[in-house]
Amino acid sequence: MAALTPLAIAMLALLRERPMHPYEMHQTLLERHQDRVMKVRPGSLYHTIERLHSDGLVAVKSVEREGNRPERTTYRILPAGERALTQRVADLLHEWGTDYPSFPVAIGEAHFLPKETAISSLKERMALIERDLAVIENGQHEATKRGVDPVVLLSGNYLHHMLSAEHDWLVRTIELIETEEYSWPNN
């Protein structure tokens, strides 16, 4: 069995809450804004549930059909799934590694761009981060109003803090470039 992907972890965690069918899992992940920390696509979700099933981590609880609609298969987590979920989450919490994001590479080579292009691009990134921060804040607020347990919102809280730190760094870096405290090559 391969290591659990972020989507597999999220799906097992949902099934730990209660049995669900894949469409319900998809909707719940979107409601919780998990699509901000991983790819949440219906095709990937169905492929992942099939893999979890074939690996013996989940089982079919029931298959239902309403009228002309397609069958709806509800899954439940198995003890092996509970163990795999617990182990993988614990491993990921204590591991320290590098994800190799692209932004540090780009910022390290930004001096090859004309100064105005670099500033403009950084300001565009900052605007996108501001938009995402507003979406996260709104989602956290709405979830809290609905009585969602704050512990379920930890990933959104983490993401908000990480984006806030990047936003603050961008503000300062743009200021340093604009005020010429950072010398910029003439390109």
Instruction: Give the pLDDT score at 182.
Output: 87
Scanning the structure block, which residue is given the tokens 């919490």? 93
As a whole number of angstroms, the distance between CA 6 and CA 107 comes to: 27
Q: How many helices, marked H, and strands, marked E, lie in the chain?
A: 7, 2
State the amino acid at position 144 in one-letter form: T
As a whole number of angstroms, the distance between CA 30 and CA 94 comes to: 26
Which of 63, 49, 56 is CA-nearest to residue 14?
Answer: 49
Instruction: Give the pLDDT score at 121.
Output: 98
Distances (CA, A) of 7 to 39, 86, 107, 108: 7, 15, 29, 31
pTM of the model: 0.80
Which of 75, 86, 79 is CA-nearest to residue 25?
Answer: 75
pLDDT tens by residue, the chain, 187 residues: 778 999 999 999 999 999 999 999 999 998 888 888 899 998 999 999 999 999 999 999 999 888 888 889 999 999 999 999 999 999 999 988 777 889 999 999 999 999 999 999 999 999 999 999 999 999 889 888 989 888 888 888 999 999 999 999 999 999 999 998 888 887 6
Which of 88, 122, 124 is CA-nearest to residue 107?
Answer: 122
As a whole number of angstroms, the distance between CA 157 and CA 181 comes to: 33
Instruction: Give the pLDDT score at 51.
Output: 97
Instruction: Provide φ and ψ at 72, rounded to 5°.
Output: -120, 115
Dig out the tokens for 74 from the structure: 């509800």
Instruction: Give the pLDDT score at 132.
Output: 93
Residue 58, classified by CB atoms within 10 Å of its CB into exposed (0-12), middle (13-18) or buried (19+), is buried
- Beta-ladder partners of 20: 75
Instruction: Give the pLDDT score at 152.
Output: 83
Instruction: Provide φ and ψ at 94, rounded to 5°.
Output: -95, -15
Instruction: Give the pLDDT score at 153.
Output: 86
Instruction: Give the pLDDT score at 104.
Output: 93
Other CB atoms within a 10 A radius of the CB of residue 77 amount to: 24
Instruction: Give the pLDDT score at 187.
Output: 60
